[in-house]
Amino acid sequence: MSQTAKYYIYSSKAPSHPGPGIQIDRATSANTDNFVSLLKAKLIILNAKPNAEHIGYFDQSDEWWKWLKKLDPDGSCQFSLMLDATEKEVQSFEFQLTSPAKMTFSSSAGALKFAFGADSSGKQAKIPVPGLFPEGTMLYVDLTLQSRICKLLWDKNKASEKRNALWFNPCFASQTTIRMQLQLEEAGRKSLEEWWSVVLKDIQVKNAEVVCKKTLTEGKTAAGTVGVHQGQITFKFECSVEAKPKPVDIVAAIAFQEAAVQLTFQPKTSVTLGDILEGLAKLLSQDLGSMMSILTKEDIFQSMHFRRLTVTLDTLDGVKKPKLSRFEVDIEVSAKFGKKTAEQNVIFLLTYIWTKRRGSSISGQFWNGLASSKHLDVSPYYEEWIDMKPLAPNPAPYIDLTSIVPGEEIKDIPDNIPTEIESASIMLSGSDFAMGGVIKAKPVTPGSIPQPYLGRIRLFVSYAWGKKKDFKLSFGFEAGLEPSKESKHQQPAILTGDLEYNSKS
């Protein structure tokens, strides 16, 4: 065989085998086979058979090579993979870019462990080689310490588990993300402190870093497929906020927008709203008494924890003259209503919003804690200051309709109306309580005769504080008739309507 003959890595779904190569063994490398099956060509083309070190280099005719080249269109980039000693399994991928500086990304076991940490055993990388979980829907590749940009900007003793990496997602428009988290120099840290001290008081920055992201996503145009580039720079730092009995450590971030700057503050440990309220008010130079008075009305919440503060500074008059235009306080509360059992916690994530123009309001969502990405902490979308999970134990999976009014029980609900609310929103003001939600009935199984069924029910309930028996309750429903299996017309007949109840009328 000629030394220049192309060599192929075939997935189990490759439509054809145009030349010599290897077939990925699903029995031992299902993650790699799943991944290569998701590539457009369902195979990888190398420019020759792997060398004595079992390294093979991508051929320029390979579709994946053409896409990755868009990351470094003017540079002499190089993409390769390493096979095992038997040359039957892919051990790792390696991508070398030259712009803006020489960078090498590797998905070897050591590199993956350095970037993303170890698994529960502490011995192996959290992500299996060659940078793929079993489903193979995302490739994870570490930015190695041999990269020139790392030698210039990194303290290698503090660089582990920082998620300095490249991700490739073949399932989502070939989205490719590069992320780097670098230490900010002392002068930069002081500049940040001086800048926001005009608006925010008594924040002393510790461990300031800058997080840079570059994303390449496939876009469709009249001329064909193009690569759409996006960039983002966020400053991450640590500080503390005054609280009882001692200051609370905070992880924070600064993101720059066109005419504003957004700062996010999230506590690193659990803290009740009451213990940190005075510190937040001092930080913002705002009176937060109205927020607390609404949250404590009728004693409908049994615990309240501060989860996050988001501050927006207006820079319309120039970056050097920021003005407070908006802030949001996220609060986790456990409700005393809607419980099916005493052990469950009906949790809401409420947000107190204050804007310079419109004043304040409180609204939020039911938080059952069930919706969570499988590999969130190693994904390109994860950041420490946006990650939140319920603090309260035993989050209720649904809200019980019969106990939705605090201290009262709604009786005589028809048997065919489901009472489990899986998604809901809540609104609070100085005078009213309101909540809306959606209840979905169980689907029917088509049979030999048409089957009536109840689809979705939209619920809205409200009452004035202190007048629980003067409440409004409305249902918007969708019902239908599922055709039989033998019917010529398989589309169901659907009926929609509304049912309203007002205790005053």
Q: What are the residue ranges spanned by the domains of the chain?
A: 1-179, 399-502
Contact 103, 143 (CB under 8 A): yes
Query: What is the spatial distance between Cα 401 and Cα 423, in angstroms, rounded to a whole number?
Result: 12
Q: Of 374 and 334, which is predicted with more confidence?
A: 334
The neighbouring-strand residues paired with 334 are: 303, 347
Sign of CA dihedral 266, 270, 271, 273: positive
pLDDT digits (tens, 9 = 90+) for 382-439: 999 988 999 999 999 989 888 877 777 777 776 666 788 888 999 988 888 888 888 8
Parallel, antiparallel or unpaired: strands 359-366 and 423-428:
antiparallel
Angle at CA 449, nearest 5°, toward 443 and 452? 40
On average, the pLDDT of the chain sits at: 86
Whether residue 154 is predicted with pLDDT greater than 90 in this model: the reply is no
Query: What is the spatial distance between Cα 136 and Cα 191, in angstroms, rounded to a whole number?
Result: 43
Q: Of 297 and 253, which is predicted with more confidence?
A: 253
Give the pLDDT band of residue 229 (cuts 50, 70, 90): very high
Over residues 234-258, mean pLDDT:
91
Joined together, the tokens standing for residue 458 give: 């939209």
Whether residue 191 is predicted with pLDDT greater than 90 in this model: the reply is no
Whether residue 111 is predicted with pLDDT greater than 50 in this model: the reply is yes
pLDDT digits (tens, 9 = 90+) for 279-308: 999 999 899 988 998 898 878 888 899 999
Joined together, the tokens standing for residue 161 give: 């588990």
pLDDT of the residue at 491: 78
Q: Which long-range contacts (CB under 8 A, 24 or more apart) does 256-262 make?
A: 259/314, 259/315, 259/316, 260/312, 260/313, 260/314, 260/315, 260/325, 261/312, 261/313, 261/315, 261/319, 261/322, 262/310, 262/311, 262/312, 262/313
pLDDT digits (tens, 9 = 90+) for 198-207: 788 778 788 8
pLDDT of the residue at 224: 84
Weakest mean pLDDT among 46-60, 212-226, 319-333, 447-461: 447-461
Over residues 185-213, mean pLDDT:
83
For tokens 């409420």, the residue is 350
Give the pLDDT band of residue 133 (cuts 50, 70, 90): very high
Query: What is the spatial distance between Cα 326 and Cα 321, in angstroms, rounded to a whole number?
Result: 15
pLDDT of the residue at 442: 66
Whether residue 11 is predicted with pLDDT greater than 90 in this model: the reply is yes
Over residues 343-353, mean pLDDT:
93
Task: Give which of 387, 388, 386, 384 is closest to 181, Cα–Cα.
Answer: 384
Residue 350: CB partners within 8 Å, gap ≥ 6?
A: 295, 330, 331, 332, 333, 362, 363, 364, 426, 428
pLDDT digits (tens, 9 = 90+) for 142-153: 988 665 555 445
pTM for the whole structure:
0.84
Whether residue 1 is predicted with pLDDT greater than 50 in this model: the reply is no
Q: Of 321 and 84, which is predicted with more confidence?
A: 84
Contact 395, 327 (CB under 8 A): no
pLDDT digits (tens, 9 = 90+) for 424-482: 999 988 888 888 888 877 666 777 777 676 777 788 888 787 665 567 778 787 777 77
Q: How many residues make up the chain in this entry? A: 505
Over residues 230-242, mean pLDDT:
92
pLDDT of the residue at 135: 96
Whether residue 333 is predicted with pLDDT greater than 80 in this model: the reply is yes
Q: What percent of the chain has pLDDT over 90?
A: 49
Give the pLDDT band of residue 156 (cuts 50, 70, 90): low
> Which one-letter amino acid corresponds to residue 310?
T
Q: What percent of the chain has pLDDT over 70?
A: 91
pLDDT of the residue at 2: 45
